[in-house]
Chain A
């Protein structure tokens, strides 16, 4: 098992280095001069060139890459020509908010997809199954931001159950910064009201973000259960006289969820990208909204940092999923590769 994880870690690292080279190179050959975009049109040429030199943008790409690499290891992601401060500061400010939102959405997605999937899979072709199928069609075909708009209209503007936007109510102070994660920081300082307020604000965007993937994973769990239910080892388990709940929730469920778990991981990894419009709609002060704006302005260092963060998220979630699947399926665990 250790070897199995070690191997995956190694390859994740290789993939991330490859990704960094790729994005670094492409970021620098796309048209548009980042210096010109950052200064006013009247700036004289020699000032532009000086700036270019001071940011090392006049050097060959590989030299720039090594400078960048060296700085990354010192915690410096470079200067953002969009926010006019260090990318590290931007990441520290915005990323925790998005990660918290995603963690919330992921929890909703995991719980929801399992409940729906098992609910449908245990009642094949009965009304429960048809209802969840209807939900799934809606969930799969409607993108997250549409849910965001509908939820905002219905649950905050019409019914007033949830706040329309933002992450904390007016008058609720941001807890003093320890980790940058509001939920955690509030927990450390014992401000439970703040936690509640934060969760209340995050609920609609998190649910909107969770729904499309949730429906898809629920379908996979359902069809997993149908497939596994046909296996000889399930009819044999029934034949030994095991109670139906043991057969279903122990012997049937475990093999049924493997494909669902893999897809669930991918869905969660993709949330950072999908969060953009949802963050925009709920004015959630998160990273997706910030990053896309920076990208639209050819802010190179932010682009590279963003892509790397998404890459790292994928890598981490991949390893978690692979480990989980290996934990569920001993054949993978013992094959060693």
Chain B
């Protein structure tokens, strides 16, 4: 077995809200090995972004990390001091955001933001030519007219260009783990595939470990080796990509797959009745039980353990 790059152990994260502290991420476990490409799928609001933001600790400040470990190359990120954390963010983990428009500061030119990223990455020498390096990065993500992009404010660019800028920023220094959090969900349908292909190409060329997040299996299946299915802040099924596609076991996974009509985007929860729980008072036992077509009493009493059903295929459901 190759080295573990990332290991999340029994993670519990919530948010402080005016109604109290929520329980979003609930005993979540996950592993990413060196050069492995992981897909994470789950409905909107099931805690995908929250989990990803825990990895380099960029959660909003009303978030509460209650318990658990996030080990990166063996060091617990949650216990890291400022200096180690800075190093992690600069050298180890990169993030492609869900919403490129919201992820670029609207008041600063692309070049200003790019320059600071390059400057503080401490990867390039003092005498680095920021413009040249930025343009090189822009070219590597196939941005048309990189000179203009460099001089522009984010609002002067199209959505697709903004996402390419974000991808370029994430590539400013070579990293061990690339996280792409629904990188296409806020883009026009016509350019979603272009951006996905770009990310696929980057993954292939650079041989990174990667986590690709999506609401739909179809979006990620081309790129990833293994898939984690998340529901309400907890992992309910893990399998090799093909296995999951051919033989989904958890009723939620089945629903999710049935509800994925096209390759990219749109309307999955239609396939499963109901919606993600209220995280102030989530259902007891299996969090999916109120929506499950195969509900039985034991589902309510205890959280199902993750059990092996075949090689490289695990599921947390009382039926299996």
Report the bound CA distance from A313 to B89 in whole Å: 50
> Contact mask B145-179 → A, CB, 8 Å, 1/0?
00000000101100000000010010010000000
Residue B27 at the A interface, CB < 8 A? no
Closest to B85 in A: A241
* Contact flag A255-B106 (CB < 8 Å), given A235-B59, A238-B58, A239-B58: yes
Q: Is the CB of B102 within 8 A of A232?
A: yes
**Chain A residues touching B, range:** 20 to 34
Closest to A331 in B: B155
* Contact flag A240-B90 (CB < 8 Å), given A233-B102, A246-B120: yes
How far apart are A237's CB and chain B's nearest CB, in angstroms?
7
* Contact flag A328-B107 (CB < 8 Å), given A240-B90, A240-B172: yes
User: Which of A124, A236, A254 has its CB near the most chain B CB atoms (within 10 A)?
Assistant: A236
Residue A266 at the B interface, CB < 8 A? no
How far apart are B122's CB and chain A's nearest CB, in angstroms?
8
Within B26-62, the residues touching A (CB, 8 Å) are: 53, 56, 58-62
Residue A84 at the B interface, CB < 8 A? no
Query: How many chain-B residues does the 8 Å CB contact rule pick out?
Result: 36
Q: Is the interface of A mostly helix, strand, loop or mixed?
A: helix
> Contact mask B51-93 → A, CB, 8 Å, 1/0?
0010010111110000000000000000000000011111101
Q: Is the CB of B153 within 8 A of A232?
A: no
* Contact flag A240-B107 (CB < 8 Å), given A229-B61, A235-B59: no
> Contact mask A296-337 → B, CB, 8 Å, 1/0?
000000000000000000000000000000001111001000
Q: Is the CB of A232 within 8 A of B97?
A: yes
Residue B247 at the A interface, CB < 8 A? no
> Contact mask B84-118 → A, CB, 8 Å, 1/0?
00111111010101110011111110000100110
Q: Is the CB of A241 within 8 A of B99?
A: no
Could you show 6 A-B contacts with beta carbons less than 8 Å apart? A124-B61, A236-B95, A239-B93, A242-B116, A242-B120, A251-B105
List chain B positions with a Cβ less than 8 A from chain A.
Answer: 53, 56, 58-62, 86-91, 93, 95, 97-99, 102-108, 113, 116-117, 120-121, 153, 155-156, 166, 169, 172
